[in-house]
Amino acid sequence: MAQIIIKNLRKEFGAFTAVQSSSFTIEDGEFFMLLGPSGCGKTTTLRMIAGLELPTSGEIYIDGAEVSQKPASQRDIAFVFQMFALYPHMNVRKNISYPLVSQGMPSAQVRAKVSEVAGILGITALLDKPVSGLSGGDRQRVALGRAIVRDPSCFLMDEPLGALDAEFREHMALELRALHDRMGATTVYVTHDQLEAMQMGDKIVVMNHGVVEQFGKPQDIYDWPATTFVAKFIGSPAMNLLEFNDMVGNGATSVRLHETAIEVPEILTGTNGNLTFGVRPEHLHLDDTAG
Amino acid sequence: MSFSITEPSNRQKWIAGVLVIAYALITLMPLAWIIATGFKTPADAIAYPPKVIFEPSLEGYVNLFTSRSRVTPEDLAALPPPETFYDQIVRQYDMVITGPSKYGERFVNSIIIGFGSTFLSVFLGTIAAYAFSRFKVPLKDDLLFFILSTRMMPPIAVAIPIFLMYRQLGLSDTHLGMILLYTAVNLSLSVWLLKGFIDEIPIEYEEAALIDGYTRFQAFYKVVLPQAATGIASTAIFCLIFAWNEYAFAVLLTSGTAQTAPPFIPTIIGAGGKDWPAVAAGATLFLLPIMVFTILLRKHLLRGITFGAVRK
């Protein structure tokens, strides 16, 4: 249960800057999506929150405490890896109980806690099986079990559905969201799939080339993209973008494209020069009257 | 004729089987001959044509483990009757046992030096390989090449400098000296082999352990080591085989206290005629530890040799 504040976070790998001065706040209990194409810095941001990478500069606050230079083991967070990273030499029970054992919890209590978690995830029957024989979905559940068993202050998930079959992903996504609602813990979720982000997230940060492009609620990002990148990245099929050069007067309610006046939903402030007109495909309809 | 990569035909299986068995027979032949010779009498051992079927005798083993001296027939007759089977064997040749031979000591030396240097090579190799695999080490590639380059000349090429150095340092003919030497020779192999194994272990396992509240050392010890067990076992076998069989340095640097079995076994020949059964007995016993070690770890060894060839 924690609020996470990211302030001017920056990460450089040699000459390459993976994350450039990101700032955003993740509220307590939120299901928060870090969205962007491959190599945009979303995973690096997540790994910095986890403590698996240390930031070059900037601060991270978890629950009010500054943690940016602390090791992962001291941050009280749980991390779900894309490839699950279940310990292959341990069975399911040992995998789930591993974070509790590190805290020195008595074994009777560990057993009780593990069975409780296994019950929530529906994997009680698998507890004494080796992890090597499990299906992708079951591995995912064990990885989630290992994450939730310790009641961490927040969950960090790096494309946790990326390794699953397409049909199973949707099912698992619902399960994940339900689990989040039940636990109420802050969840930070990295994905490159905008559909997943729109469906599951309370808030989304869209990143590109290490820069935060936009930060807000899914619907707001869809309706009011802050940049052309966001406009193109969100929505399927993508938004139509037409560049035009025209003068728009103060208080205008339409723009002119190729001699055609098109009404816009918002009153515009006056501007001049190279402009981009964006329209979502679903907002277009064909008409047989001449324009 | 058609070939299939996935499923060999019966005929191909047959040919493969015959080849493998023929190869096994050829390679096992000397081994079988040595083991058999150890149980022959000296006369049978050099009989011509060679004897395949013979009456087994423990003479070779008795001679291997004892020092004997010749006595006159009168003195022999004056002795009380032999108490044990080995007394009896020795007296057939007008000899009496004067004490144990040095073979036992040399064998123990081999075990101390062989396993000691194997442990050190694997221990240091694992730590170094982990660092090379996981951390940013300045000049990493150059260092790795340098480590490998120590194997580019035969170790014996530096025998004389090492001999002089060891004499100066007082390491000649000491267990520590031999352990250090074999460790130095094996370390490059062990670092390179183990780095390959550790590179194959996804870093996420350690990261998961770090997140689960373990320190980096605990993550290494509890997660990486069990994963690397296969690699460690096969590296240990390679190191042990080298240290166990090494002959040249052992001849040069050891003569007494720290002498290992390989330079000792040939010296058995000299004592009064060519005692082939004793030599063969010495060689047979010398084979045993490494055979047992390899059989114990054979599953790992096979996987170790083919490791990295196929991506899981």
Q: How far is CA B276 from CA A188, A195, B40, B97, in A?
A: 76, 81, 9, 19
Helix H or strand E segment including A160:
none
CA–CA distance, B40 with B61 (Å, rounded to integer): 10
Superfamily of segment(s) B104-306? MetI-like (1.10.3720.10)
Q: Tell me the C-alpha distance between B118 and B177, whole Å.
A: 14
Interface of A with B in 88-127 (CB under 8 A): 88-89, 98-99, 102-103
Distance CA B272, CA B95 (A): 12
B301–chain A nearest CA distance, Å: 19
Q: Is B90 left (phi over 0), alpha (psi -120 to 50) or beta?
A: alpha
Query: Cβ distance A226 to A42 under 8 Å?
Result: no
Residues 6+ apart with CB under 8 A from A9: A19, A21, A22, A23, A45, A48, A55, A57, A58, A59, A60, A68
E strands in chain A: 4-13, 16-26, 31-35, 57-62, 65-66, 77-80, 154-158, 186-191, 203-208, 211-216, 240-245, 254-257, 260-263, 274-279
- Most A-contacting residue of B136, B211, B221, B300 (CB-CB within 10 A), to test interface: B211
Helix (H) or strand (E) holding B68: strand B66-70
Domain residue spans of chain B? 59-101, 104-306
- What are the residue boundaries of the structural domains of chain A, listed by start? 4-228, 239-283
Residue with tokens 């003195």: B75
Per-residue pLDDT tens listing for chain A (291 residues): 688 999 999 999 888 889 998 888 999 989 999 999 988 889 999 999 999 989 999 999 998 888 888 888 888 889 998 888 888 888 999 999 999 988 888 989 899 999 988 888 888 888 898 888 888 888 888 998 999 898 888 899 998 888 778 878 888 888 888 888 888 889 999 999 888 888 889 999 999 998 899 989 999 999 888 888 998 888 888 888 888 777 777 777 777 777 777 777 776 676 767 778 888 888 888 888 765
Long-range contacts, stretch A285-289, CB < 8 angstroms, 24+ apart: none
Higher pLDDT, B31 or A136: B31
Identify which of A77, A85, A150 has the shortest CB distance to residue B208.
A85
Question: Does the beta carbon of A254 lie under 8 angstroms from any beta carbon of chain B?
Answer: no
For chain B, the residue count is: 312
Inform me whether the pLDDT recorded for B5 exceeds 70.
no
Length of chain A, in residues: 291
C-beta separation of B71 from B96 below 8 A: yes
Report ipTM (2 d.p.).
0.82
Class of domain A4-228: alpha beta
Interface of B with A (CB under 8 A): 202, 204-205, 207-215, 218, 223, 226-227
Residues of B in contact with A81 (CB under 8 A): 204, 207-208
Rounded to a whole number of angstroms, the distance from the CA of A181 to the nearest CA of chain B is 23
Say if A270 is an interface residue toward chain B (CB within 8 Å): no
